[in-house]
């Protein structure tokens, strides 16, 4: 979108969660450089730090449904820990200029950066996410009575090939259970 062609000069930004506010600060600067004034921010959830900053620096401030205390170290959404779920993970710009999604677990994303998972738990955490995702996709395949491929997903996933079966991609992603690829992932109900 060419911001200079935008007819609006005063806008509000809406986000689901405002944690540090760094991304929004960058966006606000980009709008300002293009002659657009951000009046305020509306969100469902915000930290006290971001709340205080934006209320001091924006005319209409930040309004939120729930304010997190100073002792909160991170906020997460469970869908970010499942492979291939719409709007899960973080959107990333690829070298070809296209957007793809990165779930918050290895080898597709970074659980340390995105979800404050301690480094010593990175592998076991990532494999737990992969195993849960495998169970989910196994059940979806059983219920739909067909194999599902990356190309069937509504959003491209980082580091995947569209012609690979989703369950095969997940099997390859297992880090901790390397020799346990024939594991029983549970009965679908």
pLDDT at residue 3, rounded to an integer: 62
Percent of the chain with pLDDT over 90: 61
- 111 in the same domain as 26: no
pTM of the shown model: 0.66
Residue 30 lies in a domain: yes
- 138 in the same domain as 52: no
- 162 in the same domain as 86: yes
Residue 186 lies in a domain: no
Residue 181 lies in a domain: no
Give me the number of domains the chain comprises.
2
Q: What is the mean pLDDT of the segment spanning 98-122?
A: 91
Residue 87 to residues 25, 54, 78, 156, Cα–Cα distance (Å): 22, 26, 11, 11
Confidence grade of residue 7 (pLDDT, cut at 50, 70, 90):
confident
pLDDT at residue 92, rounded to an integer: 85
pLDDT at residue 6, rounded to an integer: 65
Residue 179 to residues 39, 44, 161, 176, Cα–Cα distance (Å): 55, 43, 23, 9
Lowest mean pLDDT among 10-14, 52-56, 90-94, 167-171: 90-94
- 27 in the same domain as 88: no
Residue 153 lies in a domain: yes
| Vertex 76: Cα angle to 100 and 89 (nearest 5) | 10
**Which residues form the domain of 134?**
78-173
pLDDT in tens, 58-73: 999 999 999 998 787 7
- 54 in the same domain as 108: no
- 123 in the same domain as 48: no
Residue 45 lies in a domain: yes
- 89 in the same domain as 49: no
Residue 189 lies in a domain: no
- 55 in the same domain as 102: no
d(CA 114, CA 94): 18
pLDDT in tens, 151-160: 999 999 988 9
Average confidence score pLDDT of the chain: 88
Is residue 182 over pLDDT 90? no
């Amino acid at each position: 979108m060419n911001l200079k062609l935008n007819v609006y000069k005063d806008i509000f930004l809406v986000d689901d969660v405002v944690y540090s506010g760094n991304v929004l600060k960058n966006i606000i600067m980009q709008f300002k450089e293009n002659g657009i004034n951000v009046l305020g921010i509306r969100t469902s959830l915000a930290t006290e730090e971001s709340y205080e900053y934006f209320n001091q620096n924006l005319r209409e401030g930040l309004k939120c449904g729930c304010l997190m205390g100073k002792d909160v170290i991170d906020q997460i959404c469970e869908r970010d820990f499942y492979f291939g779920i719409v709007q899960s993970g973080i959107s990333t710009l690829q070298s070809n200029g296209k957007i793809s999604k990165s779930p918050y677990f290895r080898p597709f994303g970074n659980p340390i950066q995105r979800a404050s998972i301690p480094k010593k738990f990175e592998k076991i955490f990532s494999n737990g996410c992969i195993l849960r995702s495998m169970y989910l996709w196994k059940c979806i395949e059983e219920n739909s009575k067909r194999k599902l491929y990356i190309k069937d997903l509504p959003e491209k996933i980082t580091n995947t090939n569209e012609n690979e079966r989703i369950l095969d991609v997940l099997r390859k992603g297992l880090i901790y259970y390397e020799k346990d690829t024939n594991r029983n992932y549970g009965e679908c109900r």
